[in-house]
Homo-oligomer: A and B are copies of this chain.
């Protein structure tokens, strides 16, 4: 029997309506490199969803590519990017940001988030130093929302962070690889218009939320808009058949599909949480998005592992481990039910 995969949120292909549109338009002839009508259309829908028609929207293929392109576009050579020590760019992108010449300045974090106060301290401490020119200057703040630990920022928190960034002349960049799962969380009060307003640049993840691949970069800051397409091309992120990205985001932003798919994942995640709560297992981090981080007795884990794949985080003590289960837009009810039943049983 094949195991059921819960270890990440990109095990399947795309929402069937996306495949359908790719098929329908397959032999249409369009210009390349994102200068087609579908990209234009998708960008327009995203601007509309964000409530700001001055936004620049670009489509890239994947997350690491997007992160490195945005960050390298923004920073001067002596600048680095502040982020939580657990931030994806600091840990899981094989030094992509450093390969562009910039230091990632990790800040301690318990739950994957950093605060306005953390950022202020880092900027102040840089300014105050006797030898500030011998140290990397913070030039950007990188947040992920949801974070790598599934937590989310509140509207208030984001606004405060943005205000500190503005005060210190530091760009604010929000990685939204799983943005839908944040927006659909029961305890979320952020919206696309708020995010567009309280960041300089952010992206809306498609790869993990219903698309085959694709991330939509949304830029509000004029300085960052300038020449951004050169950067996309140079970093290898400009898809020849750019319309494939346009078509997917056009579909995701038609009739609320993006949020609908996200909500599906959240609903199923909540069921898994119920099973875990009944069991009394604690969490590494509490959150309400599509990533669940229970601390599980090793014996139970072994049992679950016979039928389900999860992602192993770390050993907590001699008999317990922190692991991750993910739901996604594609998670099937019956599989989630099977997992819940198994949790209850072990």
Contacts and interface: CB of A to CB of B under 8 A. Distances in A.
The prevalent SS among residues of A at the interface is loop
A65 B240 CA distance: 11
Given A76-B227, A95-B136, A26 B31 contact: no
Given A93-B234, A94-B136, A207 B99 contact: no
Interface string A294-332: 000000000000000001100000000000000000100
B103 A80 contact: no
A236 B133 contact: no
Contact of A234 (B30, B63, B72, B99): B99
Interface string A176-188: 0000000000000
B26 A11 contact: no
A121 interface: no
Interface residues of A, number: 77
Interface in A185-221: 207-208, 212-213
B236 A237 contact: yes
A244 to B, nearest CB: 6
Given A19-B23, A227-B137, A234 B96 contact: yes
A62 B213 contact: no
A133 B10 contact: no
A122 interface: no
Contacts of A101: 95, 98-101
Contacts of A208: 240
Interface string A110-132: 00000000000000000000110
A234 B95 contact: yes
B23 A5 contact: no
A280 interface: no
Q: Which of A25, A28, A96 has the most CB of B within 10 A?
A: A96
Contacts of A28: 12-13
Contact of A96 (B27, B92, B235): B235
Given A233-B64, A236-B65, A238-B62, A95 B76 contact: no
Contacts of A103: 95, 98, 104
A207 B137 contact: no
Interface of A: 2, 4-5, 8, 10-14, 16, 19, 22-23, 25-33, 61-66, 68-69, 72-73, 76-78, 80, 91-96, 98-104, 130-131, 133-137, 207-208, 212-213, 227, 229-231, 233-241, 244, 311-312, 330
Q: Name the 8 nearest CB pairs between A and B, nearest first.
A: A65-B236, A78-B230, A13-B26, A94-B234, A95-B136, A95-B103, A11-B29, A98-B103
Given A62-B238, A98-B98, 10 more contacts: A62-B236, A64-B234, A76-B227, A77-B100, A80-B95, A93-B233, A94-B234, A98-B136, A99-B100, A134-B233
